[in-house]
Structures are given as structure tokens and as C-alpha cells.
Structure 1
Amino acid sequence: MSAYEAALARQSWSKVTGDGPTHEELVRLVAAAGRVADHSSLRPWRLIELRGDDRVRLGKAIAKAEKDRHPSSKPMRAPVLIAVVASFQKSSKVPHWEQEAVAAGVAHTLSLLLDEAGWGVFWRTGGYTRSKPVAKAHGLKKNEELLGWLYVGEKPADRKPSRRKSVDAEAFISRMPSKKQ
């Protein structure tokens, strides 16, 4: 499958089941995803792999962030969660927004690669991604921000992926305004 075909075929799987990719498979895919455009090669990102009880601890941290007495069940909706972290580096040339874009690019590329490998993927975010309890649970440093999680698992045979509407590309492409305006 070409990159073009992979991008056109990409779908979100809001429910995944069963097993997830092995650590070894993730390492292989992350090595490819990490080749996104990265000004000054800062590599301002890292990923945290959550499996088993890691997901329970995350559920408790989300509950604490939301001031809920019961642990959130959201992290249990997939066998593997991959936390996407923007890990900002000091740079006079590369602003924070650009470094965050690199981290998001790695996450998106990884989601395409996971999909191509046959896994169902859903990128989950929420207000609690930037909360202190969730940051603490992930061991984030002061120079880091959580962008969300890739939920990864088997695609259920009885479900269809979430449908994405086609993009009217012409509506999103324009030319630079002329001087006369």
C-alpha cells in the first residue's frame, strides 16, 4: 500500500478488542514514524507504552483530574495505549508550536503505520491530558506536555470503523493574495 493509499484508507476505530501489537512491533513502527520532518533534528517527542495495570493507574489519574470518585474506564477500552508526549527542547530556532507539531506528526504517522499493519487505532484526547494528576501518572517533566493517547488493538469483526467525510481539497487550497489587496 502506498502512503497515498494509506492516508485515504485511514479510519478511526473507537472500539478495539483483543490483543495489541507487541513491544517489538511497536519499536519497528516507531523507528519509521520518527522520521517525520523535524527542524534541527531535535526529536521533541517521546511515547509511553501503557499495558495491563498501567491502564488502571491512568484511569485513577483521570478520575482524580475530573474530581470523580470512580476510576475512569476509558483506558480499558484498548489493550495498548500509547501516550504521545511533546518533549520540548531548548532552541532559539525552533519554537514550541513547531516542536509540538513534530510530536503530533509522529503520532499521526504511527497511527497510519499501525493501521497498515492491521491494527485498529483511535487517537483520544481530553481536557485531562494537561492535568497535573495525569502528567504525574505518566512521569512527565516540566518541559513536557501530553498530547493524548493512541488506543490500539484488534479491529472487531462485528464493527465498522468510524467513517470520515471526504475532504473537498479545492476548498482548502488557495493562492497567496496579490499585492493589490
Structure 2
Amino acid sequence: MRRRRSLSKVTDEAPSPEELLELVGAAGRVADHSELKPWRLIELRGDDRATLGRAINKASGEKGVSTKPLRAPLLVAVVASYRKSDKVPRWEQEAVASGVAHALSLLLDEAGWGVIWRTGHYTRAKAVAKAHGLRKNEELLGWLYIGGKPERARVSRDKVVDAAAFVSRMPQPKR
């Protein structure tokens, strides 16, 4: 995890569907209040990426196919699939879906794959939602772009956050 980094450029290699399922099985073990499993993932390979490219351009008022989805051989759409619950609010369910995506990105990196989580204003566009077959209780949170790690990216750099800048103690009451 200390060496993980987002890779915007990847090679044309990608994990097999079976390898992806194995990693998703592990990523799905994130903390999940009431075990609602308020998420699902959509695998986009081959022509699926062009379908998404058309939807992105349609959402942007352009014709043709956006090349954005063609930047990686495999995209995994991250979908928050909200469940009715009196105990678990919507924001917490979205956090679970985000947690699965993040855990999956870490597992992919550990397995030797390059990955970056991409979003954009078109994640909320009707044409993009329709292309993904989203239901009324679902929102697209973005895509994991996945491919092989280029040789130059295989050299790891330690990049540690200054934890002291982000951790504090509970304020003490004034006496």
C-alpha cells in the first residue's frame, strides 16, 4: 500500500475475467453495516468501451466516440446500488461502494496491474447511466481503468503521507 500509485497510462494487458472475479471477491469484504452489499461492478472490455465512448460524447453534446474509455483495456464501472434501510443512510452505502472500489484498486496494484479511478461530470449523465443499465436506485461513482504496468512504472517510490498533519485528539472541555 505504501508503494501504490495511480497509473494514467497502462499497457494493453488486462486481468482475465476469472482473475478479476477473485479480486472482487476479496474486495467485497469491506466493512458493510447490515451487510446490505450496496454496490455492483460492471466489467467493460472490447467494444463495451466504444459504447461508453458514444454515451460520453452524447452526454457532452458531441457526435462520434470519445476515446477516453479506450485508454485502458479493462474498465470496471463502480456503481452504488442503494438499498432501503432504516439503519443505514445513503451516504454510508455510498461509502461501502467506494470502499469496495478502493480495496479492488489496491488488490489490482498488489497483483501487478496498473489502475486509476476516473470520474467526471458525465458519471451523472442520463446517456451514460442508460449505457450501463443503471436502475433508479443506482449511481455511477466512476470507473477503474485497468491494464498492464508499463516498465517505467514498475519502479516503486515510497510516498508516505505526513500522518501528523491529519491526526488529532478529541478537544478537551474548557474548565
Q: Do the structures match in fold with TM over 0.5?
A: yes
Q: Residues 142 and 73 (structure 1 numbering): CA distance in 2 closer, same or farther, change over 3 Å?
A: same
The aligned residue for residue 130 of structure 1 is 124
Question: Which residue does the alignment assign to 2:90?
Answer: 96
Cα deviation for residue 158 of structure 1 reads 4.3
Matches within 5 A, 1:125-164: 125-158=119-152
CA contact (8 A) 2:40 2:80 kept: yes
The equivalent position to 2:2 in structure 1, one of 8, 14, 18, is 8
Query: Which segments of structure 1 move beyond 4 Å, counting only runs of 4 or more?
Result: 158-165
What are structure 2's unaligned runs of at least 5 residues? Answer: none
TM (normalized to structure 1)?
A: 0.92
Aligned CA distance change for structure 1 residues 43 and 117 (closer, same or farther; 3 Å): same
Percent identity over the alignment is 69
Q: Distance in 1 between matches of 2:140 and 2:95?
A: 13
Q: Is the 8 A contact 2:3 2:156 kept in 1?
A: no
Contact 1:52 1:79 in 2 (8 A): yes
How far apart are residue 70 of structure 1 and its match?
Answer: 3.1
Alpha carbons of structure 1 residues 23 and 100: separation in structure 2 relative to 1, 3 Å: same
Distance verdict in 2 for CA 1:69–1:90, change over 3 Å: same
How far apart are 1:113 and its partner, in Å?
Answer: 0.5
Q: 1:36 to 1:178 in 2, by over 3 A?
A: same
2-structure distance, mates of 1:164, 1:122? 18
Cross-structure match for 2:75: 81
Q: How many residues matched?
A: 175
Partner in structure 2 of residue 51 of structure 1: 45
Where does the alignment leave 5 or more consecutive residues of structure 1 unmatched? 1-6
Taking a change above 3 Å as real, the CA distance of residues 39 and 130 of structure 1, as seen in their structure-2 partners, is same
